[in-house]
Amino acid sequence: MQKIFLAALFFIFIFASASFAGAVEVTSLLERQGKNDTALLIGATEEQKAKFIPDGEVKSQILAFYVKVPGREILFDTGLKNGNIIKRLEENGVKNSDVKTIFLTHLHPDHFGGLVGGDNQAAFPNAEIYVSRIERDYWVNELKNENVIKALNLYKDKIHVFEFGDEIFNGIKALDASGHTPGHTVFDIKIDGEELLIVGDIMHFIEIQLPVPDVAVKYDVDPVQAVKSRKKILDYAAENKIKIAGMHIQEPGIIKVKKVNDGYEKITDDNAGKKVYFAGPMFCQAEKDYNLKIANILEKHGYKVFLPQRDGFEAAMLEGKTEEELTKMIFEKDVSEIRKADILFMNLDGRVPDEGACIELGIAYAENKRCYGMKTDTRSAELILDLNPMIAGCFKKIFRNFDGEALIKELENYLEKNSL
């Protein structure tokens, strides 16, 4: 029996550590924080400054993003020379030598500077660098900027240029966001139904540039074009409800926006911290009905629940698929939903979860989701059997009552006084 438990645990960690197709994982990397005053703004009236920046100062920060997509990991921008991005990567288990691909939104010092190490050698010795051809030509050929030339020369034949509109890798497209600089690029990551925009310096001070997008900054090479690009990208993000990741948006730097009159607002997530992936058995209608009861209780207490039997694929989408195709589709959908969730809530049937439940629990636990279980299996009680401690230890709490209706009341009482 112990061998079965160990095999199940091994199964958990094999899948929990894998890269799953369809997932777009983003890690924010903070270079530094500070403050800037309104003297940097172009086109803001005194009334607008007083309304949106009443104390005359705005928080500023520099971010980079490390993004994992199926088969590839990409660093978007590198921060400052001798900065903190390599340290932030190491804090997330990534060495500078592990970085194989770097995308640059543009060639301002707080975005390309980290390419150069403290010894004036390549800070990312194994990386291929991708930058807009227009951007490279502007800084190298037109301005002949020495710092840019030195940094790019460290990578020599590892520099790759692209044009606006190019799909650089499968699912990653370069969008024209010129204005801040001539080749300023937004990267549109669109993979297996997930989409994220890496927007670079589309905005520096969202406190005023969201509600009044006509406000530019003195860093903009072409302020008029920068405003046009900002509106174009924000319109697209708002219309399609896409997350944007910006290098100067307050940490963690990832937001959604909505259109409001002539400007935009951040979308407040009313379900922040309360998104639940509900995992439960579906072998018979009674089990499905019981899962639905529990999901309804969680939703009554303000949780946003994804219940696969209810919220998964519509039957029409599964028609004509082979068993292998169905398995892949369902697996990728479930993995994606677990990663979007804050909480895994699992109805534990039997004395040990089956293979599917082990995978779900392993992914959630490895990604630091809050895991809760409920156990109602009568046969296990009769045989004086319980969960293996190594599996039970993945849960913050397991509700136990072998009377299913009594367990529902116990859960309701808990939620009246506590949050998951």
Mark whether 112 and 252 lie in a shared domain. Answer: yes
**Nearest Cα to 107, choosing from 158, 59, 143, 82?**
143
With respect to residue 16, please indicate whether it lies within any of the assigned structural domains.
Answer: no
Question: In which band, very low, low, confident or very high, does the pLDDT at 9 lie, cut at 50, 70 and 90?
Answer: very low
Mark whether 130 and 72 lie in a shared domain. Answer: yes
pLDDT at 374: 86
Output the six-digit token pair for 185.
């690029």
For the segment 303-319, what is each residue's pLDDT rounded down to a tens digit?
A: 889 998 888 766 556 67
With respect to residue 382, please indicate whether it lies within any of the assigned structural domains.
Answer: yes
Mark whether 260 and 213 lie in a shared domain. Answer: yes
pLDDT at 340 over 90: no
With respect to residue 98, please indicate whether it lies within any of the assigned structural domains.
Answer: yes
pLDDT at 72: 93
Mark whether 302 and 244 lie in a shared domain. Answer: no
Mean pLDDT within 389-418? 84
Mark whether 376 and 238 lie in a shared domain. Answer: no
For the segment 21-43, what is each residue's pLDDT rounded down to a tens digit?
A: 335 888 899 999 999 889 999 99
Percent of the chain residues topping a pLDDT of 70:
88
Q: Where a domain ends, among 266, 294, 328? A: 266
**Nearest Cα to 101, choosing from 84, 79, 77?**
77
Answer yes or no: are the C-beta atoms of 314 and 321 closer than 8 Å.
Answer: no
pLDDT at 16: 33
pLDDT at 5 over 80: no
Least confident piece of the model among 11-15, 52-56, 111-115: 11-15
With respect to residue 57, please indicate whether it lies within any of the assigned structural domains.
Answer: yes
Question: In which band, very low, low, confident or very high, does the pLDDT at 247 lie, cut at 50, 70 and 90?
Answer: very high
pLDDT at 389: 76
Mean pLDDT within 120-136? 98
With respect to residue 15, please indicate whether it lies within any of the assigned structural domains.
Answer: no
Mark whether 203 and 278 lie in a shared domain. Answer: no
Residue ranges making up the domain that contains 338 = 272-417
Mark whether 298 and 222 lie in a shared domain. Answer: no
* Average confidence score pLDDT of the chain: 86
For the segment 41-87, what is each residue's pLDDT rounded down to a tens digit?
A: 999 999 999 999 999 888 889 999 999 998 899 999 999 999 999 99
More confident residue, 164 or 402: 164
For the segment 357-387, what is each residue's pLDDT rounded down to a tens digit?
A: 788 888 888 888 889 988 876 555 554 556 6
pLDDT at 186: 98
pLDDT at 20: 31
With respect to residue 20, please indicate whether it lies within any of the assigned structural domains.
Answer: no
With respect to residue 37, please indicate whether it lies within any of the assigned structural domains.
Answer: yes
CATH number where 358 lies? 3.40.50.450
Mark whether 294 and 215 lie in a shared domain. Answer: no
For the segment 323-339, what is each residue's pLDDT rounded down to a tens digit?
A: 888 778 888 888 888 88
Mark whether 167 and 100 lie in a shared domain. Answer: yes
pLDDT at 15: 34
- Split into its structural domains, the chain has a count of 2
pLDDT at 349: 65
Residue 115 to residue 150: CA distance in whole angstroms: 10
Q: Where a domain ends, among 266, 284, 310? A: 266
For the segment 168-192, what is each residue's pLDDT rounded down to a tens digit?
A: 999 999 999 999 999 999 999 998 7
pLDDT at 3: 35
Mark whether 97 and 45 lie in a shared domain. Answer: yes
Q: How far is CA 355 from the centre of its chain?
A: 27
Mark whether 318 and 253 lie in a shared domain. Answer: no
Q: What is the rounded end-to-end Cα distance, in angstroms, of the chain? A: 32
pLDDT at 102 over 80: yes
The contacts found for 160-167 with CB under 8 angstroms, 24 or more apart, are 160/128, 160/129, 160/130, 160/131, 161/130, 161/131, 161/132, 161/133, 161/136, 162/130, 162/131, 162/132, 162/133, 163/132, 163/133, 163/134, 164/132, 164/134
Q: Where a domain ends, among 244, 266, 288? A: 266
pLDDT at 368: 82
Mark whether 383 and 314 lie in a shared domain. Answer: yes
CATH number where 186 lies? 3.60.15.10
